Amino acid sequence: MKSFHFIQPPYLKVSKSPGPRFPQSPFPDLRLDPFFVGRSAEINQIITNLLQNRHTLITGDRGIGKTRLMQEVISAFDGTVHRIDMPTAHLPTDKYAMIFIDSPAPLSKLIKRLSSELIRLQQLKPVKAMKETELAQAAVDSMVTSGRMHILFIDNLDTVTPSHRIVLEMLLQAAVICGASQSIKQQPILKRIFDSFTPVPLHSLSTDDAAGLIDYFVEQYKIRTLDRSLFRNQIAKASQGNPFRIKTLLHAAVTKRFLGSADIRDIVHSSNDLDYFNMGPLYALGLAIFSLSKILSIGASNKEFYILMSSLGFLAYLVFRSFFTLKPRKTNS
């Protein structure tokens, strides 16, 4: 199995005991742990694109690790993390400036966040009262005249609306953008903007990378299991290489003192509900509305009718429960 690296913030200490050198994590919830594996090809591609002034869009399903990948690229650029599987990409601060925006929606938030970051970089003077369009123009002008190359990391880019078009077009001219989105907007007014990006699709973790991520959490969070190999394989299979799913499943495992075969099966089976929702309440609401309409139309004295309708409603519920109660939820919205 390949070797892995980890993000090491200042508050993490590296264990000096024999075995895997994992950080001693203080996180009470492992889902907040920033441990990172793989994605070397994608990181290299993104860094190459950005240094060549090519706008880049990271695409992939929910939970696949788009935000985490952006953070890894930022760490590589600012020199806080050095990876042995890629060349150093540290950027001098006198020539480059990086800005991370967690969400561009609504438009006012995008403009305010960008402006505040430019003020922090001492490129834009604080202003008390200015219209959004004027503030956006002032922010763009400060980037153009600063003499530095600006790299904007914009997460959740799929939340933009047509009202963002003018500002996004200005930013595409003034900076290099690395965005993250579950899908590419197909609206004609936004498609032109999204066509400006070079896509970097993010897929499920490889078998080795998924195994490395699982082994890290099992070791670091003291997950005790009767058969670690079986546990790893079951979690990897149930998660389908999705880092968010892996963390969610392992978070459930942490609450167990010891995992036997039955516990592993329960955790894996629970994952089947992650992408589904219960339509039972919708059925109950529809039945209640139908019953109320009948009461209003024929009155409440016809007991035989309501007994018959109750029986038919119960039978319909059994059929509905068997075939339609769980309906897939779209994940590529």
Share of the chain above pLDDT 70, in %: 68
Cα–Cα distance for residue pair 245/101, rounded to 1 Å? 25
pLDDT for the residue 58: 96
pLDDT for the residue 280: 57
Cα–Cα distance for residue pair 32/11, rounded to 1 Å? 14
pTM of the predicted model as reported, rounded to 2 decimal places: 0.70
The secondary element (H helix, E strand) that includes residue 326 is strand 326-328
pLDDT digits (tens, 9 = 90+) for 7-17: 333 323 333 33
- Residue ranges per structural domain of the chain: 13-34+205-273, 40-201, 279-328
Q: DSSP string covering 62-127, please?
A: TTSSHHHHHHHHHHHHHTS---TTS------TTTEEEEEES---SHHHHHHHHHHHHHHTTSS---
For 300, the token pair is 């409440």
pLDDT digits (tens, 9 = 90+) for 173-212: 999 999 999 988 888 889 889 999 999 999 999 999 999 9
Assigned architecture for domain 40-201: 3-Layer(aba) Sandwich (3.40)
- Reported confidence tier of residue 326, pLDDT bands at 50, 70, 90: very low
pLDDT for the residue 165: 93
